[in-house]
């Protein structure tokens, strides 16, 4: 276990963004880590200040990752819209969307990328029928 709770805060940001754990569960994990380090005598700073900084760091990392997710979603949409308009096969469109997600270091889980593609197919169908 690392003696630095800020490393834990940074590593918990991604599971929070992907929805695997809640923000409150991440805060609890950081609190437990700080309490254990305090009891073992490995914490050189005030536990309250360490907790406050770790929570701020978690929030800033979550915001950074959410921004990255928004930008990646925009890139995926811009990439696949022309493909959908030219009636490319759906598996090819999905492959390109997953490739764009991979280039951005996988900010989305696989079902989320498939949801973005499905949403674009839905809106493309509505535009054609209007």
pLDDT digits (tens, 9 = 90+) for 99-124: 999 999 999 999 999 999 999 999 99
| Cα–Cα distance, 2 to 10 (Å, whole number) | 12
113, 97 contact by CB (below 8 A): yes
Q: Is the dihedral of CA 75, 93, 107, 77 positive or negative?
A: positive
The band of 1, judged by pLDDT with boundaries at 50, 70 and 90, is: very low
Q: Residue 74 CB: number of other CB atoms within 10 A?
A: 10
List the domain boundaries for the chain.
Answer: 5-65, 67-129
The continuous run of DSSP H or E covering 77 comes out as helix 47-85
**pTM score, whole prediction:** 0.83
pLDDT digits (tens, 9 = 90+) for 11-56: 999 999 999 999 999 999 999 999 999 999 888 889 999 999 999 9
């Amino acid at each position: 276990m690392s003696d630095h709770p800020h490393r834990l805060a940074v590593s918990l940001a991604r599971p929070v963004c992907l929805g695997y754990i809640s923000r409150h569960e991440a805060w609890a994990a950081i609190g437990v880590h700080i309490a254990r380090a305090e009891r073992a005598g490995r914490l050189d700073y005030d536990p309250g200040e360490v907790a406050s900084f770790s929570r701020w760091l978690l929030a800033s990392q979550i915001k950074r990752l959410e921004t990255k997710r928004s930008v990646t979603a925009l890139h995926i949409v811009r990439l696949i819209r022309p493909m959908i308009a030219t009636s490319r096969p759906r598996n090819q469109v999905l492959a390109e969307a997953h490739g764009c997600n991979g280039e951005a270091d996988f900010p989305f889980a696989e079902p989320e990328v498939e949801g973005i593609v499905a949403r674009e197919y839905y809106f493309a169908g509505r535009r054609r029928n209007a």
